[in-house]
Amino acid sequence: MVTKVIGVLDLQGGVQEHLAHLQALSIPTKTVKLAKDLKGLGGLIIPGGESTCLMRLMHVFNLIEPILQEYHAGLKIFGTCAGTIVLSSHGFIDIDIKKNAFGGQLDSFSSEAVIPEISSKPIPLTFIRAPQIVRAGSEVTVLLRINHYMAAVETSGILATIFHPELTPSLAFHRYFAQKCGFLVSDEEDFEWNRHTWMNH
Ligand code: GLN
């Protein structure tokens, strides 16, 4: 399958960080602000930010229906954090979400986990006022379960995390998503990082 570019929804939130991760993998990118920008995409990322604001802007710019249409026509979508809330709220994936499930901004934290489907190496995880996925339908594959909640899930068309791979030096989730979209991705190394200092980079 020949695919073209991966778009990043550019209304609010962590847009540049997703673009940088895709570009580090040599994936052509574009920003998506209007429905016309969805044409010909090989994949779409809905970034983290603030879901209420994001959904309001998606409504104002008439983007929800066009994205649903492209999704039903085969567009793969990756949501991170607030992006996952958007995907859940609009029926892209059958999951239930508990917003701000860890508390407020000061309860944000980082961690790491091995997620075999994504990478053989541990993946750094950054949770910022994160939601929890508290239920997943039978067609949803759970990639990472932590205690009573799920942190990363997928279906054939959707990849969704409650954490922010784009705010870490790891390219593993973006590589996996690009492959899901049909891109041939070489094994570029992750951004240089030291697990004790990477948040300063
Ligand atoms: N708590 C935010 C919300 O409900 C999500 C935070 C994030 O995307 N980092 O939208």
Domain boundary assignment for the chain: 5-200
Q: 5-200 is classed in which CATH architecture?
A: 3-Layer(aba) Sandwich (3.40)
For the beta carbon of residue 102, count every other beta carbon within 10 angstroms: 16
Q: What would the pLDDT profile of 86-109 be if each residue is shown by its tens digit?
A: 999 999 999 999 999 999 999 999
Closest ligand 1 atom to the C-alpha of 53? 10
Report the DSSP beta bridge partners of residue 124.
112
Q: How far is the CA of 187 from the centre of ligand 1 (A)?
A: 31
Q: How far is the CA of 104 from the centre of ligand 1 (A)?
A: 10
- What DSSP designation does 33 have? -
State phi, psi for 117 to the nearest 5 degrees: -65, -30
Closest ligand 1 atom to the C-alpha of 128? 9
CB 41 within 8 A of CB 32: yes
Catalytic (active site) residue 166: yes
Query: Probe ligand 1: pick from 88, 106, 108, 129, max atoms within 8 Å of CB?
Result: 129
Catalytic (active site) residue 53: no
Q: What would the pLDDT profile of 29-70 be if each residue is shown by its tens digit?
A: 999 999 999 999 999 999 999 999 999 999 999 999 999 999
Q: What would the pLDDT profile of 113-136 be if each residue is shown by its tens digit?
A: 999 999 999 999 999 999 999 999
- Give all strands (DSSP E) within 47-147, no chain letters: 77-80, 95-98, 109-113, 123-127, 132-136, 141-146
Token reading at 172 = 């593993």
Q: What pLDDT is recorded for position 187?
A: 78
